[in-house]
Structure 1
Amino acid sequence: MAESDHVVYVLECADGSFYTGYTTDLERRIVEHDAGEGAKYTRGRTPVALRYHERYESRSAAMSREYEIKQLSRGQKERLVEAD
C-alpha cells in the first residue's frame, strides 16, 4: 500500500445522522455504503454523503482516530465536518 492509504471518514446519512468508518479505498467504500452493502448502520439510511476524511500512514493511527471521532458528541462532529 502507498503512504496515506488508511482513511478515516465521516458520512452524513439521509436521515441526518453521522457514520464514522475506516477504509483503505474511500471511493469504493462510499459506493458500497450507497448500494446498501456497507455497514449495517448505513443500509437503511442511504444515500450517504462524504462530509469529512483524514488520511494516515498506518492502520493503527487511523483506527485510533476513528475511535476518537466515534466518541465525539453530535455537536462536536458537526463542528469537525464544518471545519473541513
Structure 2
Amino acid sequence: MDTIVLVGYIAGTLTTVSFVPQVIKAWKMRETRDLSLAMLVLFGIGILLWTLYGLWTGSLPIIAANVITFVLILVLLFMKVRYR
C-alpha cells in the first residue's frame, strides 16, 4: 500500500470517528438541541459530493470514510427530527 493511501485511510478514520462521540451523546441524552439542522444538512450534502468525487477518482479511502460519515450524519439527522 502506498504511503499516501495509508495517510488517506488514517485521515478518513479520524474524521469519521470524530462523529461517533456526538452520536453516542445524542443517543444517550435523547437531546439534539445543540446540533444545528442546517449544519447537518449542509455537511451531509458535502459528504455526498466527496463520495462522488471518491467514486470518480477511484479513491477507496475517500469513498469509505465518506460513506460511513454520511451514515453517522443520517443517524444524527434522524435523532434531530425525532427528539424535537
Q: What is the TM-score with the length of structure 1 in the denominator?
A: 0.31
Structure that is richer in helix per residue: 2
Which structure ranks higher in relative contact order (CA pairs < 8 Å, sequence separation ≥ 6)? 2
Q: What is the TM-score with the length of structure 2 in the denominator?
A: 0.31
